[in-house]
Structure 1
């Protein structure tokens, strides 16, 4: 019965749809993560963006698992387990497939580091979370190289739009942070230089929750 189901699964369509959907959800997740760190993002809108940043990233992870496992039972060009888990060993599009595997591992690290943030500390959490950028780039290249629909003009435009949007919002966030000006401290309050620098860079790219926001999001 199980083999019959596998034989008649539209594996090729599942691979295509889950791959594109996972990429788009990751784009939305990273984009919202940067956007919620903008100086004008405050209060409830900021909390909503942070919530959907987390949800869409986890949904992308789930669809990535579906995408990978379906490759094992694909009728046309099935992957072996070693080709799926060992980067650059696939017989078809080894470079593009390898980037997809590495991007998946990077996404696992990003998600785990978020859950272990209190134990890791801000410095290590920030370093791990910055993997979101190479993960996104890796999946973009993976889709362009290995995607059966990457030759379609609309799919190609989708990759161009999402790539340029990510560059644009990253540059904009950095410019807004620079224009904010120096921090003004009243009274004896002192912030260690290292912690302040880490906080500044984390908030600059939307990777940190501003002070007082942690309990609000929970």
Structure 2
């Protein structure tokens, strides 16, 4: 019965559907992660974006795992466990498949670091979380190289659009933070405090002159 399911299951279609869906969910997760980190993102919208950032990333992980398992049972071009687990050892598209394996491992690290954020501390969490960028780039190349439908114009446009969107949002976030930075001044003395100091010294000087003149007058 199980063998019959494997033989007649549209595994190749499921491989492509799960792979594309995992990539798009990861794209949404990375985009929401960048957006919720914008200086303008505050309050409830920030909390909602963070919640969906986490959900879409975990869904991408689940579909990526299903994608790998279907590759193993595929009757058309099956992958062995070593080809799936050891990067760049696949007999078909070794570079693209290897990048997919490395990206999956990177995604696992990102998710685990998020769950262990309080124990790792902000510095190490940030370092591990920045792996989201190479993970996304690796999966983009993986899908474009290994996908049987990558020659389709719509698929190419999808990869171009998603890639440029992540780059654009990252640049925009950096520019917004740079604009916000100059507003913060440290160790700078406010100008209004300088005038009273000068005025106080002039008053002391005048008082001293009056005092000296008064003493001479008394003499």
CA distance in 1 between partners of 2:44 and 2:126 (Å) = 24
1:181 & 1:172 partners in 2: Cα distance? 14
Per the alignment, residue 139 of structure 2 pairs with: 139
**Secondary structure class of the residue paired with 1:63:** helix
CA deviation profile, 1:133-166 (whole Å, cap 9, x unmatched): 0000000000110011111000000000000000
Write out per-residue CA displacement over residues 51-84 of structure 1, whole angstroms, 9 at most, x where no aligned residue.
0000000000000001000000111110000000
Question: 1:6 — aligned with what?
Answer: 6
Alignment correspondent of 2:82: 82
Residue 4 of structure 1 deviates from its aligned partner by 1.4
For the pair shown, the structure with the greater C-alpha radius of gyration is 2
**2:175 aligned residue:** 175
Q: Report matched runs for 1:89-128 at 5 Å.
A: 89-128=89-128
Shift of 1:184: 5.7
Paired residues in the alignment total: 186
- Relative to the length of structure 1, the TM-score reads 0.83
- Runs of 4+ more than 3 Å apart: 182-185
1:160 aligns with 2:160: yes
What RMSD, in angstroms, separates the aligned Cα atoms of the two structures? 1.2
Gap runs ≥5 in structure 1: 186-218
- Residues 6 and 75 in structure 2, CA contact (< 8 A), matched pair in contact too: no
Pair 1:64-2:69 in alignment: no
What is the Cα deviation at residue 181 of structure 1? Answer: 2.3
1:44 counterpart = 2:44: yes
CA distance in 2 between counterparts of 1:76 and 1:129 reads: 37
Instruction: Give the unaligned 5+ runs of structure 2.
Output: 187-219
Q: What is the rounded CA distance, in whole Å, between the counterparts of 1:77 and 1:3 in structure 2?
A: 16
Measure the CA separation in 2 of the matches of 1:41 and 1:126.
19
The corresponding residue for 2:148 is 148
Aligned counterparts of 2:75 and 2:97: Cα–Cα separation in 1: 18
Give the helix-richer structure, 1 or 2: 2
Task: Indicate the structure whose relative CO is greater, using CA pairs within 8 Å and at least 6 residues apart.
Answer: 1
